[in-house]
Amino acid sequence: MQGSKYPLATTTWDEAEINAMQEVIQSRNFTMGARVLSYESEFADLFGTPYAVMSNSGSSANLLALGAIRYSSFGEDATRNEVIVPAVSWSTTYYPITQMGYTLKFVDIDLGTLNASASSVEAAITSKTAGIVAVNLLGNPSELDRLRELADDKRIFLIEDNCESLGAKLNGKMSGTFGDIGTFSSFFSHHISTMEGGMSATSNLELSQVMTSLRAHGWTRELPDENHVLNKSGNQFDDLFRFVLPGYNLRPLEIEGAIGSEQLKKVPGIIQGRRKNHKTFASLMGQFPLLKTQVEIGESSWFGFSLILTETLSGRRSELVEILTKYGIASRPIVAGNFTRNPVMRHLKHTPLPALPNADQVHENGLFIGNHHYEMIEEFNLLESALREFHN
């Protein structure tokens, strides 16, 4: 994929990130410390959220988010155990839900936005519903304002899996900040990269402290003396090694925090470049109406560009992939397609599956190609040539 003329992802690093790594190497302080703390604070400031907890991946950010719900006052009502999720997302959107003892309840997506609509989520809510995990797919915000209202009205939690949508906005508010917790990824292929890395953002102090404890073994070492997990005794020898929650080791490295601080400085330019590329892409795709593209909600940060073959072209995806590959254009399925069609479902507790025709359409006739932070004139010329050949 990296050797293609039009890859799925490219680096956003330059000398600033290299120098930041060298500073960490020279300091010889490699495990989570001051640089991670600085990055968390800078991240929270940039995205308008009071608290941000860094972890070693976006998947871990989701695990911390669900763990925080389970081991906080949000998880006290044991009669509510179902969590509503869209049928199209990445695997580790779903796994933490069942790992925390909840039951998945899948709903179909909207074929335009590729997100679950607020109306479909509302129709799925029952007295058993504990919460909603909204997924902002490929840079596109869900109907987050309506989902927030639903969650408040029903007194259930709302988590945003915002790992593909850093920098997107809805009504001027950053995606990832509508939910009780919003999760972000800084894996190489995402908007910003810290090599590996994730962030869980929240405006709730209790949730932030539970995530901080769960991130590092379930102790309270990084928390203040008085906190929402367990107040410290005042005996430092005991407090440093008192385990109070069934946690993990999901800590990031100092080198990742240092890189993250440099990457945040570039976020406005990165998002601006991706949005500019979408205008060119949308104009190009107007010539190919038999290929359906994603409908924007709010201000997408355009993680990538989806293509769905309409009924006239149905069943020809493999042919399209072959032609794209010939032109050096990397492509892949839209996230994981209809996730319920994966064999791993036998290990995941879920309610009876409804018909999911739109997710099936994405699964069978959808793909996406990359977007980048720089102008993509040559890449779009290749795409136009490939699509013309496909249509002939």
Catalytic residues: 190
Mutual orientation of helices 377-391 and 267-285 as an angle, nearest 10°? Answer: 30
User: Which residues are bridge partners to 6 per DSSP?
Assistant: 329
Residues 61, 51: contact at Cβ < 8 Å? no
Beta bridge partner(s), residue 222? none
- What does the block give as tokens for 284? 């190009």
Q: How far is CA 354 from CA 89, 264, 364, in A?
A: 17, 41, 18
Assign 135 to helix, strand or coil.
strand
Sheet holding 181-185: strands in order across?
A: 51-55, 198-202, 181-185, 157-161, 129-135, 82-86, 103-107
Nearest to 149 by CA among 114, 127, 123, 118: 118
Pairing of strands 173-174, 169-170: antiparallel
Amino acid identity, position 269: G
Residue 259, classified by CB atoms within 10 Å of its CB into exposed (0-12), middle (13-18) or buried (19+), is buried
